[in-house]
Chains A and B, each alone.
Chain A
Amino acid sequence: MQEFTVKFTPQNKLVRVPKGTDLLSAAIKAGIVLAASCGGVGLCGKCRIVVEKGTFKSEASPLVGEEDRKNGIVLACETIVEGDLEVRIPKESLGLHEKISGATEEFTKGVVLEKEKSIKYLPLVRKIYVELTAPTADNSTSDLERIYDALAEKIDHVHISTKVASLKHLDELLRDSDYKVTAVIAYNDDSVEILTIEPGDTSKANFGFAFDIGTTTVAGQLIDLNTKNILGTRIAFNKQASYGSDVITRIIYASEPEGLKKLNEAVMENINDIIGDLTDACKINLSDVYGLVMAGNMTMMHLLLKIDPSNIRKSPYVPTSVVFQNINAAELGVETNPKGTVAFAPGVTTYIGGDIVSGVLACGLAESDEMSLLADIGTNGEIVLGTKDWMIGAAASAGPAFEGSGLSHGMKAVRGAIEKVRISKSLDVEIGTIGNDAPKGICGSGYIDLLCQMLKAGVIGKDGRINRDIKSKRVRKSDVNYEFVVSFKSESAIGRDIVIQEDDIENLKRSKAAIYSAIIALLNKVEKNINEVNKIYIAGGFGNYLNIENSIFIGLLPDLKRDVYEFIGNSSLAGARMSLISHEAFEKMSTIYKNITYMDLSSEPNYMDEYVAALFFPHTDLGRFPSARS
């Protein structure tokens, strides 16, 4: 097979590929991950590139506007290599590895922090410095027992175990370090295990990572396990996205030859990038990182552990396991201290994973006497309702719209994302972006504001349709449908107008309807009224900001007193962090996952009806949204 060289700029990466390879695959091979939410089948129009030099064949995509086409923009997935090429990748097509600056604040405010203050400090990994007495003829206790005895004075755990592998050079180590050593111990189920013995006193340097492995994003936090301080947070798009944006496409991909391996490698790369990046930034030695806690949905956990996920997709949708034992860091492939340990948040079913159990832990729902509700608005909208005595959960297929995926100018809540919008009567648009950068796209909270403001300004009707009668340069018909310009090319950072199209509105409308109707369906199931809910926690990747008022106005959330609501950001990550700091918190998850009853919305006779009724702004039953009327 004839091979050609493709050069990608500005990364300046070269790759040799056979003739006929598409450029999306070539980019992946070169280690460049392009945005491709459709999985590279020409449907999302995100992998836009420019071929500067060389022979290629490309399908003219209707998703690339005429002007862009003239400027040489093509879709990577639709472009075939026919000779040596030089390809330029515009910034917006990358969309990966983006970081939220100052993100630590986002995760430490509000209820989660309150909750964290009260948890018992008992980290997954502890480093305990011990000074042993040297063995003598009178005291012939073994080296290991000597360590156990010393530890027994410092910790109240009786069952301590050590793998044989850790004993191999223990004798030497003890003698070389003059019997002054640090035992690195970790919880593993009910026992405590010695992971390793380090010479001297290293107890000052004890770090861990909490991870939320989402379908769309991977978030990680570096924690000082001695002080409980968050040293930094990083968020990246899940690199598996190049193989498809949703779990179904990925599960299908996993069954292809090498598919599971590639998906696993993609997410491991995410994790290791975050670990490397944060330890670098905080000048922390990787070998001082021993403890990790991961929370994620069921598919993500399967892919992370290289367990075939194919039955998750097939009726009756049963995962291989919902609980995973701790494993060794090296075995998983995380680049921390290879002797480190990784713990996983347990899940409930295929549709309610460890991320939700972790979220329930973080918001304290499972400890409250009063009824509260957690809504995690991610790629799926998972809802858990209950008290300390009972919990019921459901997952609504909301789609990733509020994560900024699948929309013409959607993006994650990262720098340059429009997160606040105001539209005046004369249709002047005032926007606020994350980091006050020039706008690159719109994130979930931006879309909520935008819909609300478009409704108020009469740009769209209650059905979400753009008012064709408006005479404004912001309202126009594009190649495919009507659109509203949020930010003109002259102000945007992407060299194109940032717009919201009628299809996007339809998409968002479906998402919000799925979440709202799932909340109502759960309440109906337990015969409770929405007014009886004491507290509603909203979690999700909305960044720093979610306007509850506007969320109610568009009918995403029920019209309740505003103080019922609490926006808690990424609750999955918060729960993982709490479990890392407190074994007691981790243990609580074992009770939580067993106490959540799963309710299948698709078998609820009234759910569909509720859903269609919610496909309106704010709702077909306007009486449920009195405050949207005024």
Chain B
Amino acid sequence: MPVEFVKEKYNGAINTIEIGNGAKCVKIGGETTLPFLFEEGAMPNQPVIALEVLDTESPDQAIACGGRLLCVRLASIHPDNGNRPADEVIASLGLIFKKCGLPLIIVGCGDAEKDNEVLPKVSQAFKGENFLFGIATQNNYKTLAATCLADGHSIVAESPIDINIAKQLNILITDMGFDPARIVMHPTTTSLGYGMEYVYSIMERGRLAAFLGDKMLSMPFVLFVGQEVWKTKEAKDSIAQGVNWEIATAVSMLQAGGDLIIMRDPAAAKSVMKYIEMVMKK
């Protein structure tokens, strides 16, 4: 007797977000199923890997890797790390953008005050480019959201592994007139061996809520895998081990529902891109 597999059908879908313009525009999200369950729904857009570089680093290696997006972290604007002014950073970003031609994901340094000072200027300088800016948090979202809204960018909304706070922040940002389809959620990333299953379960819960019709949780997920993995002692012990660690973490996050994975190591990124090609073959 043939076995009939139980199939879930959902009514909700994840929002599709476009980053960049024209031919280089990258779409993320749009799923109507949990990751890679093509029998149950569709994944119209492949998950995307973006390499992360610091604003003071050469982007060459990252560009060579073949990603469709590039993430630039403005580490040098931090008061304890150079305290670079906005105009210098804008100039560096201009060069990087020219060189790679890819839509950018621009992430601040983490110092709320400095980010609120620099990010609006950067946003304005790239007005209309439809970039993705981060990071908005529960305690600091207004400045970034207002400027992204004015300049036509999308935004990363971060919450501390908490589905309710994730949703609250999405509501707060949308209340400012922000299009929910321009928000990408960062549910907090962790690394293999550091409580990943908790992040996994939070992401899964968010996804299921979205598929059941919760519009305030229907945003794609971004995960900063590189940043987390290269903090671990395992990665610091040996580069080869770190590369494998980053691959394993990234793959797990894809299986949890990650739409956009930010990675640090080009070799690891290439492996994960290959993995995506493989699993997307139906």
Determine if chain A interacts with chain B.
Answer: yes
Distance of A609 Cα from B166 Cα, bound (Å): 13
Q: B163 — which chain A residues lie within 8 A by C-beta?
A: 609
* Least CB distance, A85 to chain B, in whole angstroms: 45
Q: Which of A461, A468, A615, A621 contacts B172 (CB 8 A)?
A: A461
Determine whether the beta carbon of A620 is less than 8 Å from that of B162. Answer: no
Determine whether the beta carbon of B172 is less than 8 Å from that of A462. Answer: yes
Distance of A616 Cα from B169 Cα, bound (Å): 10
Q: Is A612's beta carbon under 8 Å from chain B?
A: yes
* Least CB distance, B45 to chain A, in whole angstroms: 28
Q: B142 — which chain A residues lie within 8 A by C-beta?
A: 468
Distance of A622 Cα from B162 Cα, bound (Å): 17
Determine whether the beta carbon of B168 is less than 8 Å from that of A462. Answer: yes
* Least CB distance, A599 to chain B, in whole angstroms: 22
Instruction: Digitize A587-622: 1 where CB-to-B-CB distance is under 8 Å, 0 elsewhere.
Output: 000000000000000000000010011011000111
Interface size on A, residues (CB 8 A): 12
Instruction: Digitize B105-124: 1 where CB-to-A-CB distance is under 8 Å, 0 elsewhere.
Output: 00000000000000000000
Q: Which of A462, A468, A609 contacts B164 (CB 8 A)?
A: A609
Q: Which residue of B lies closest to A613 (CB)?
A: B164
Q: Which residue of A lies closest to B166 (CB)?
A: A620
Q: B25 — which chain A residues lie within 8 A by C-beta?
A: none
Determine whether the beta carbon of A463 is less than 8 Å from that of B172. Answer: yes
Q: A612 — which chain B residues lie within 8 A by C-beta?
A: 162, 164-165
Distance of A291 Cα from B23 Cα, bound (Å): 88
* Least CB distance, A104 to chain B, in whole angstroms: 44
Q: B167 — which chain A residues lie within 8 A by C-beta?
A: 613, 620-621
Q: Which of A468, A615, A622 contacts B171 (CB 8 A)?
A: A622
Q: Which of A462, A615, A621 contacts B175 (CB 8 A)?
A: A462
Determine whether the beta carbon of B164 is less than 8 Å from that of A463. Answer: no
Q: Which residue of A lies closest to B165 (CB)?
A: A612
Q: Which of B162, B164, B175, B216 contacts A461 (CB 8 A)?
A: B175
* Least CB distance, B139 to chain A, in whole angstroms: 8
Determine whether the beta carbon of A620 is less than 8 Å from that of B172. Answer: no
Distance of A585 Cα from B140 Cα, bound (Å): 56
Q: Is B138's beta carbon under 8 Å from chain A?
A: yes
Distance of A620 Cα from B217 Cα, bound (Å): 11
Q: B216 — which chain A residues lie within 8 A by C-beta?
A: 622
Distance of A616 Cα from B162 Cα, bound (Å): 14
Distance of A620 Cα from B170 Cα, bound (Å): 10
Task: State the main secondary structure of chain B at its contact with A.
Answer: helix
Determine whether the beta carbon of A462 is less than 8 Å from that of B171. Answer: yes
Q: Which residue of B lies closest to A616 (CB)?
A: B168
Distance of A112 Cα from B232 Cα, bound (Å): 63
Distance of A462 Cα from B165 Cα, bound (Å): 12
Which residues 439-480 in A have Cβ within 8 Å of B in the complex?
A: 461-463, 468
* Least CB distance, B58 to chain A, in whole angstroms: 39
Distance of A616 Cα from B165 Cα, bound (Å): 9
Q: A615 — which chain B residues lie within 8 A by C-beta?
A: 164, 168
Distance of A616 Cα from B166 Cα, bound (Å): 12
Interface residues on B, range: 10 to 19
* Least CB distance, B176 to chain A, in whole angstroms: 9
* Least CB distance, A629 to chain B, in whole angstroms: 12
* Least CB distance, B210 to chain A, in whole angstroms: 13
Instruction: Digitize B78-116: 1 where CB-to-A-CB distance is under 8 Å, 0 elsewhere.
Output: 000000000000000000000000000000000000000
Q: A462 — which chain B residues lie within 8 A by C-beta?
A: 168, 171-172, 175
* Least CB distance, A281 to chain B, in whole angstroms: 51
Distance of A462 Cα from B164 Cα, bound (Å): 13
Q: Which of A461, A620, A621 has the most CB of B within 10 A?
A: A620
Instruction: Digitize A323-338: 1 where CB-to-B-CB distance is under 8 Å, 0 elsewhere.
Output: 0000000000000000
Distance of A615 Cα from B165 Cα, bound (Å): 9
Distance of A609 Cα from B167 Cα, bound (Å): 13
* Least CB distance, A569 to chain B, in whole angstroms: 33
Instruction: Digitize B134-149: 1 where CB-to-A-CB distance is under 8 Å, 0 elsewhere.
Output: 0000100010000000
Determine whether the beta carbon of A620 is less than 8 Å from that of B164. Answer: yes
* Least CB distance, B1 to chain A, in whole angstroms: 36
Which residues 187-219 in B have Cβ within 8 Å of A in the complex?
A: 216
Q: A620-B168, A620-B171 are in contact. Are A463 and B138 (CB under 8 A)?
A: yes
Q: Which of A463, A613, A621 has the most CB of B within 10 A?
A: A463
Q: A463 — which chain B residues lie within 8 A by C-beta?
A: 138, 168, 172
Distance of A463 Cα from B175 Cα, bound (Å): 11
* Least CB distance, A147 to chain B, in whole angstroms: 69
* Least CB distance, A464 to chain B, in whole angstroms: 10
Q: Which residue of A lies closest to B170 (CB)?
A: A620
Q: Which residue of A lies closest to B209 (CB)?
A: A621
Distance of A620 Cα from B171 Cα, bound (Å): 8
Instruction: Digitize B150-187: 1 where CB-to-A-CB distance is under 8 Å, 0 elsewhere.
Output: 00000000000011110110011001000000000000
* Least CB distance, A213 to chain B, in whole angstroms: 37
* Least CB distance, A624 to chain B, in whole angstroms: 12
Distance of A609 Cα from B172 Cα, bound (Å): 19
Distance of A121 Cα from B89 Cα, bound (Å): 84
* Least CB distance, B174 to chain A, in whole angstroms: 10
Distance of A620 Cα from B206 Cα, bound (Å): 13
Q: B172 — which chain A residues lie within 8 A by C-beta?
A: 461-463
Q: Which residue of B lies closest to A468 (CB)?
A: B142
Q: Which residue of A lies closest to B162 (CB)?
A: A612
Q: Which residue of A lies closest to B169 (CB)?
A: A463
Distance of A118 Cα from B164 Cα, bound (Å): 47
Q: Which residue of A lies closest to B139 (CB)?
A: A465
Distance of A171 Cα from B23 Cα, bound (Å): 113
Q: B162 — which chain A residues lie within 8 A by C-beta?
A: 612
Q: B171 — which chain A residues lie within 8 A by C-beta?
A: 462, 616, 620, 622
Q: B138 — which chain A residues lie within 8 A by C-beta?
A: 463
Distance of A621 Cα from B214 Cα, bound (Å): 9
Distance of A468 Cα from B140 Cα, bound (Å): 12
Q: B164 — which chain A residues lie within 8 A by C-beta?
A: 609, 612-613, 615-616, 620
Q: Which residue of B lies closest to A614 (CB)?
A: B164
Q: A461 — which chain B residues lie within 8 A by C-beta?
A: 172, 175
Distance of A612 Cα from B162 Cα, bound (Å): 9
Q: Which residue of A lies closest to B176 (CB)?
A: A461
Which residues 201-257 in B have Cβ within 8 Å of A in the complex?
A: 216
Distance of A613 Cα from B165 Cα, bound (Å): 8
Distance of A468 Cα from B141 Cα, bound (Å): 13
Which residues 330-378 in A have Cβ within 8 Å of B in the complex?
A: none
* Least CB distance, A42 to chain B, in whole angstroms: 27
Distance of A463 Cα from B138 Cα, bound (Å): 9
7 A–B contacts, CB within 8 A, in A order:
A462-B168, A463-B168, A612-B164, A613-B164, A616-B171, A620-B171, A621-B167
Known: A612-B162, A612-B164, A615-B164. 11 other contacts (CB 8 A): A461-B172, A461-B175, A462-B171, A462-B175, A463-B168, A609-B163, A609-B164, A613-B164, A615-B168, A616-B164, A620-B171
Partner-A contacts on B (CB < 8 A): 138, 142, 162-165, 167-168, 171-172, 175, 216
Partner-B contacts on A (CB < 8 A): 461-463, 468, 609, 612-613, 615-616, 620-622
> Which 7 pairs from chain A and chain B are nearest by CB?
A612-B164, A613-B164, A620-B164, A620-B167, A616-B168, A620-B168, A463-B172
